[in-house]
Structure 1
Amino acid sequence: MDKTVIFLGAGASKADGAPLQRELFKSYFKACEGEKLNENFDIKHSKVKGLLDRYFKNFFDFTDNFDYRNAVFPTFEEALGILDLAIERNEKYRSELGNLYKYRTALIFSMAQAIQYKIEASKNGIQGESHTKLIENLQDELPKGNITFISTNYDIILDNALGSKFDVDYGFYHLDDLDNIKNGVKLLKIHGSLNWKYCPVCKHIEAKIEQKGTLSIVDNPGSVKCDYCSADAQYIIVPPTYYKDMSNVYLANIWNNAEKLLREAEHIVFSGYSLPSADMHIKYLLKRAELNRGRNSKFKATVINYYPNKIVGAIQKEQNRYSRFFKNTSDVNYVQEMSFQDFARNPFQVLE
């Protein structure tokens, strides 16, 4: 089999119940109404919800007690981006608007809660059904090391599916650092993950894979401690904004390792990823991997991003983006009527 990278975007997680970016805030406010969810997670909803209410009121002129069902929310990228840029530039808004760090934490928390809520409320009732089916179908090939994963998603649907059968190597360390590399399937999550625990004091990082552990890092900031030095641990989440803070050494290693995997890949399968215009960092990553290959090294790309009732115009625009971006368009195969679920059920119709 060709050396293959499976590159997963939000559409893949959407297939198993996770919300898209534009659905995050409505999903969170709906989660706040769920009695069962509030019983399962003792995470002080009222404090976070109060911060979000204040944020939308102060920054986007929402009214008191607005109806989230009919509200027109900013995108998660917009909401977080205007905070991240102010923090990065060490600038502030008027003091009465509130603490930017608290707003940022509340936004991250709401994203995590929305993801968890939507996955649990998934109609099929089985968490990660398509991801699990994909791993089951690939389980004989994965130990050979020819198939690796890159994901833009924060959720741990794929992590759980992989972790039930294999060790997972998140690519935290440089590929030349043989002492720290796991003998597992590589899953490089270039935007961070909800199950990573990072200590800014001793710089230790830990990742836990467990079905009910998605929110363990972000549910109660300040309560999660480093196992080595007992300092307050942090999450690593890179928002989908133009500004991306890549200063964390582990995140930098992940991006470097992702570029290496893409550069060496003979086949890249994009699933659930539309190559949006705003993702300039990913486009830069892909272009470097394409142009810095060996002179005689070629690759093919397969794009799988169909879903029921997808508009024909949207399909054509997406196909044009992929064809326009890569240098050799003849090596890009855009499969118009294959969904992530289809790919998971029979991956070898694409991989062989």
Structure 2
Amino acid sequence: MNTTLILGAGFSKNSGVPIQSEMPALLTKDRENNDFERGISLVLEGFMRDVFGFEKDIYPELDDLLTCMDISTNSEHHLGIKYSPIHLRALKRLIIYRIFTILEDSFTYSYEVEKLIRFFIGAGLEHTGFLVLNWDTVLEKYISMIDQGIMIDYCNGGKYLTGDRGFKDERGESRRTKIVKIHGSCNWLYCDNCRVLINDTMSKVSTIRKVGIKRSDFELFNEMKGVSDKELLEELPCFICGDAVSAHIATQNYRKSFRANSYPNIWGEAEDMLTNSEKWVFIGYSLPQADYEFKHLLKICELKLRHRKDRRLSIDVVLLNSETATMKYQSFFGNKINRIFNGGIQEYINYLKGT
């Protein structure tokens, strides 16, 4: 593995996907004109108003929303008298459903992004790996456009869904590219009973079913009791044990836990990928404080074998008009950085052409 591309929210932003700071304003906007979508919007708007004093265009940050919910549910405490842990778990499912819908519906094609991915894939699948901090499947979409014969290897030990009730193990495929998603992905499903992880790379499962919204969730909120779309909420059975499966992601908050379920293995793969690379390319990633565990991993991988390597690790950073992020990289990596490109992907492509 010669090069690892580390992709943040700014990478997906090039393809129309909102960044985290833009997400709260979109949570209460109906994606479709029906009672189900309107009900979700009303419930989320009411929660923001009751808990965070939401009014007009001042929305709570996504980190604050999810962190307050997670701490309350994990400790089995209320968040105000209206929102018990049962209510909060249902609210989280509604928020994740709305986020997943936004991620899928917002995608727009970018010629620049395709050209960038094409360049690194062309350098050889065995020489390039991708480490993604986003839940979306933007990268996977471009790889499929470039070559549908390339198999996505999520390095998560999961099964690959091939049909309504079937899967296969594709790790033996020769033409594959490694994509390690340390926060999970919107096309992953997990069974809490038999603990199998399922990769829905072909988008066989609808968003509403993969999130695991339950019929009982509707009864918790007055805004949704009259919704007639409950028949859409059939639980998705695990293809091994028959129990219900649902999304498997680490939500954006300061209480992320990567020590449960499949995440230890995924983070181990990320460590191997980073350690064995000669070059890191950060694209659209701003080194946020909330990712302190990942920043610590970067330091470990940068330093642990440095005394044994003949060549110094090369680090490129691709940003777009962000002096703040530039300063973060300079203070974190110092003179270890090779180049910082603050003109976006096109500036970096122009540089690659000349090398």
**TM-score above 0.5:** yes
Work out the CA distance in 2 between the residues paired with 1:84 and 1:158: 29
Q: 1:255 aligns with which of 258, 267, 271?
A: 267
Q: How does 1:134-283 map to 2 (within 5 A)?
A: 134-143=116-125, 145-163=126-144, 164-173=148-157, 181-183=171-173, 184-210=176-202, 215=207, 217-218=209-210, 221-222=213-214, 223-283=235-295
Report the counterpart of residue 38 of structure 1 in structure 2: 32
SS at structure 2 position matched to 1:301: strand
**Unmatched tracts of structure 1, length 5 or more:** none
Say whether 1:319 aligns with 2:326: yes
Is the Cα contact below 8 Å between 2:18 and 2:103 reproduced in 1?
yes
43 and 229 in structure 1: CA distance in 2 versus 1, 3 angstrom threshold: farther
Work out the CA distance in 2 between the residues paired with 1:333 and 1:213: 42
Report the counterpart of residue 27 of structure 1 in structure 2: 26
Is the Cα contact below 8 Å between 1:5 and 1:267 reproduced in 2?
yes
Report the counterpart of residue 302 of structure 1 in structure 2: 316
Report the counterpart of residue 98 of structure 2 in structure 1: 110
211 and 195 in structure 1: CA distance in 2 versus 1, 3 angstrom threshold: closer
SS at structure 1 position matched to 2:82: helix
Pairwise CA distance, 1:270: 0.2
TM-score (norm 2): 0.80
Letter in 2 for 1:331: K
Work out the CA distance in 2 between the residues paired with 1:347 and 1:79: 40
Report the counterpart of residue 352 of structure 2 in structure 1: 348
Pairwise CA distance, 1:333: 2.9
Work out the CA distance in 2 between the residues paired with 1:282 and 1:221: 30
Report the counterpart of residue 305 of structure 2 in structure 1: 293
Number of residue equivalences:
316
TM-score (norm 1): 0.81
Report the counterpart of residue 90 of structure 1 in structure 2: 76
Letter in 2 for 1:194: C
**Unmatched tracts of structure 2, length 5 or more:** 159-168, 215-234
Letter in 1 for 2:336: D
Report the counterpart of residue 133 of structure 1 in structure 2: 115
341 and 110 in structure 1: CA distance in 2 versus 1, 3 angstrom threshold: farther
Q: Identity of counterpart residues, as a percentage?
A: 24
